[in-house]
Amino acid sequence: MYAIVEIAGQQFKVAQNQTLFVHRLQDAEGASVSFDKVLLTDNDGKVNVGAPLVQGATVNAKVLNHVKGDKVIVFKKKRRKGYQKQNSHRQCFTRIQIESINA
């Protein structure tokens, strides 16, 4: 069984006991969270598509930890002008584990 769920503005295909990285959530580590924006569920070939959401479907997950992603270097340069600018960014993520899918 799998579901397509919207978490923090992004859509993910999730299955039970799967771990994934999502944009930073405000919940504490070890907390249990529930997502109710389920767009599609599939239970052994029985597909239920929402319009736009599947009624009564929820995905329960557990927050494992908060991490930072890899550093991304942003380098800007204009040739023959002497202009160079360097910046960097590290995105904050939350690692969650899907506990159950209730369709």
Give the other-Cβ count within 10 Å of 41's Cβ.
21
Question: Average pLDDT for residues 88-99, to the nearest whole number?
Answer: 97
Residue 24: Cβ-neighbour burial (10 angstroms; 0-12, 13-18, 19+): middle
Which range (13-17, 20-24, 42-46) has the least confidence? 42-46
- Give this prediction's pTM: 0.84
What is the H or E stretch that residue 41 is in? strand 38-43
Range of the domain at 8: 2-102
One-letter amino acid of 71:
K
CB contact set of 65 (below 8 Å; sequence gap of 6+): 29, 94, 95
For the chain, the domain total comes to 1
Q: Is pLDDT at 103 greater than 90 in this prediction?
A: no
